[in-house]
């Protein structure tokens, strides 16, 4: 993207920062609008798209074992007193 285009986009974003409806229409006009019914859920946004490497898989298993150990530790898994 040329520097001039980036500057224009930054300027438009700054102008429309407090105007969500106008910003939405600008995104639609520029072709950045999300497709209807195609919104990402939190699960989709944070889901791993690729399989883990063997090292990543081993690390994952180690972390899961540590979590299981921590759950059994009364100092780590006790309920906290919370004042509202």
Q: State the pLDDT confidence band at 14, using cuts at 50, 70 and 90.
A: confident
Sketch the domain layout of the chain as residue ranges.
3-36+50-77
**SS3 letters for 37-82?**
CCCCCHHHHHCCCCCCCHHHHHHHHHHHHHHHHHHHCHHHHCCCCC
More confident residue, 83 or 40: 83
Q: Which tens digits make up the pLDDT trace of 31-76?
A: 766 666 666 566 555 666 677 788 988 998 999 899 888 888 888 7
d(CA 58, CA 53): 9
């Amino acid at each position: 993207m040329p520097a001039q285009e980036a500057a224009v986009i930054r300027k438009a974003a700054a102008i429309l920062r407090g105007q969500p409806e106008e910003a939405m229409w600008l995104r639609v006009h520029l072709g950045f609008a999300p497709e209807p019914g195609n919104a990402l859920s939190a699960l989709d946004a944070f889901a791993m798209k690729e399989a883990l490497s063997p090292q990543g898989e081993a690390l994952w298993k180690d972390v899961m074992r540590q979590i299981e150990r921590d759950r059994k530790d009364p100092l780590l898994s006790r309920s906290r007193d919370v004042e509202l």
